[in-house]
Amino acid sequence: MTVEREVAIQISHLNKVYKLYDKLRDRLKDAFGFKSSCKLHYALQDVSLSVYKGETVGIIGTNGSGKSTILKIITGVLHPTEGQCKVNGRISALLELGAGFNQEYNGIENIYLNGTMMGFSDKEIEEKIPAILEFADIGDYVYQPVKSYSSGMFVRLAFAVAINIDPEILIVDEALSVGDIFFQAKCYHKFEEFKKLGKTIVFVSHDLNSVSKYCDRVFLLNQGKLLGEGDPKTMIDAYKQVLVGQYGEKGAEPGRTPGNNPDVLEYGDGRARIEECHLWDEQGRETNVFVKGNPFTVSLKVRFTAELTNPIFAFSVKNVQGTEITGTNTMLERAFMESVKAGDCYHITFTQDANLQGGEYLISLGVTGYERDQFEVYHRLYDVMNMTIVSDKNTVGFYDCCSKVNVSKEM
Q: What tens digit of pLDDT does each residue of 294-326 get?
A: 999 999 999 999 999 999 999 999 998 888 899
pLDDT tops 70 at residue 251: no
Query: Are the C-beta atoms of 176 and 205 separated by less than 8 Å?
Result: yes
Longest Cα separation, the chain: 92
**Average pLDDT over every residue of 167-172:** 88
pLDDT tops 60 at residue 98: no
- Residue 129 φ then ψ, to 5°: -60, -45
pLDDT tops 50 at residue 253: no
pLDDT tops 60 at residue 167: yes
Q: Report the mean per-residue pLDDT for the chain.
A: 88
For 38-42, 243-247, 305-309, 366-370, which range has the lowest pLDDT when averaged over its residues? 243-247
Structure confidence at residue 175 (pLDDT)? 60
One DSSP character per residue, 159-180 reads HHHHHHS--SEEEEESGGGGS-
**Burial class of 34 by CB neighbour count within 10 A (0 to 12, 13 to 18, 19+):** exposed
Hey, where are the domains in the chain?
252-390
Instruction: Report CA 70 to chain centroid distance, whole Å.
Output: 17
Q: Which fold has domain 252-390?
A: Coagulation Factor XIII; Chain A, domain 1 (2.70.50)
**Amino acid (1-letter code) at residue 85:** C
Structure confidence at residue 130 (pLDDT)? 93
Q: Confidence class of residue 40 from pLDDT cuts 50, 70 and 90?
A: confident
Radius of gyration of the chain (CA): 26
Query: H or E element: which one contains 239?
Result: helix 232-243
Helix then strand then coil, in percent of the chain rounded to 5, is: 25, 35, 35
Q: What tens digit of pLDDT does each residue of 55-92 get?
A: 999 999 988 899 989 999 998 889 999 999 999 998 88
Q: Confidence class of residue 379 from pLDDT cuts 50, 70 and 90?
A: very high
Q: Confidence class of residue 150 from pLDDT cuts 50, 70 and 90?
A: confident
Structure confidence at residue 397 (pLDDT)? 86
Task: Count CB atoms within 10 A of the CB of residue 139.
Answer: 10
**Average pLDDT over every residue of 261-276:** 92
Q: Confidence class of residue 227 from pLDDT cuts 50, 70 and 90?
A: very high
10 SS3 class: strand
- Global pTM reads 0.78
